[in-house]
Structure 1
Amino acid sequence: MIPKAIFLSLSRRAVLISLTLLFLVFNFLLNYFLPSEYALDLKFAYTVEQAYIAIGNLSKPDRDLYRVGILALDFPYMFVYGMLASGLLFLVWKKPKVLLIPLGIVLFDLIENILIIHILDSYPVEKPIMVTWASIITTCKWLLVCLLALFLLVGTVRLYLTKNFSILQHQNSEAKEI
C-alpha cells in the first residue's frame, strides 16, 4: 500500500495550489490543441457510428494533432488531475479507500487513450469492437468523475458542518459555564 505520507503531502495547501494551476494550464492547452467537438474522450456512451463520424470530420493533420495531443498533453494531464483529486479527497475524507476513485479514473483514461490512438492509427479501417470498448471505458471514466465530484461535494459539506458543529458545541459549553 502507498504510504499515508504521500497523500498527506498531496493535501498540503502549496501542493494543491500548484496542482490546481497545472490542472488549469493543461485544460487550456487541451482545449486549444484538441478538437473538443470531435474528441472521443470527451463524449459519453458514443456508438461506433458516432465515433467514426467524429473521426471522419477530422482532416489527416487534425487526426495527427489529436494523436500528438493525447501523447504530449493528455498522458501527463492524467497524473496531474489524479494527484490533485487524490490530494483533495484525502484533505476532506482522510480515508485512503476513497483514493481508489482517482486511481480508477486515471486507469480508465490510460486505457481509453491507448484505444483511441489505435483507432486513429487504423483509420479509415474501422475497428468496431475497439471503438465499443473505448466507449465503454470512456463511459466508466465519466461515471467515476461524477462519483469523484459527489465525494468531493459531500466531503466538503461534511467537513464544513463538522467544523461549525464543533464551534457551536464549544460556544454552548462556554455559555453553560457562565
Structure 2
Amino acid sequence: PVYEEGIVKVEDLKSAIKEETILITIMHANNEIGTIQPIAEIGKIAKENNIKFHSDAVQSVGKIPVDVNELNVDLLSISSHKIYGPKGVGALYIRKRTRLEPILYGGGQEKDLSPGTENVAGIVGLGEACRLAKEELDENIPYITNLRNKLIDGILNSVEKSYINGDIEKKASRKCKFQIHRN
C-alpha cells in the first residue's frame, strides 16, 4: 500500500517479498499526485533478493533526473508523448543479462522480443524528445517548481480547508498536477 503522502514504505515492500517473488514493479512518479517513490532503495532491496526490478518512469523522464544505474532498475519504461514526442512510441530499458520472454513470436525485430515493422520516424522523434528534455531539464526544474509552489500557496492561502494530496517535497517538479481538496 501507499500511505497518506502517496509513498510506498520500503519496510512494507520488504515484508511482501516471498520466496517465489520474481519481479517488483513500481511507478517512479505518480501520474495523479506526482509523488516520487524511493526507487533506488527499492532497487537495492530487489538486487539483494535476486528479484528483477521494473519501474514505470513515464511520468518522471524529462521532469526529474533519471539514471538507471542510480535507480538500480533492471527494466524502465518511458512514453514519448509525455515529453512532447510523437504519440504511440515508447521505450523499455533492459539491463544486460535481464532475460525476457516474447509475448508474440515472429520476425527478428527488437532482438526477437516483438515482431513487426519498427516505427523508425517515431523512434527518432522519441530520441529527439529525450535529447531536448535532458538539455532543458536543469532550466525547467526550478522554473516549473516555482510556478507550482506559487499556485499551491495561492490556493492554500485563499481556499478555506484546502489541503494537498501527496508529499509536497517528493514531487516531480515539472509534474504540476496535484490534487487540492476542500472540506
Q: Same fold (TM over 0.5)?
A: no
Q: Which has the larger radius of gyration?
A: 1
Higher relative contact order (CA 8 A, sep 6+): 1
Kindly indicate which of the two structures has a greater share of residues assigned to helix.
1
Q: What TM-score does the superposition give when structure 2 sets the normalisation length?
A: 0.29
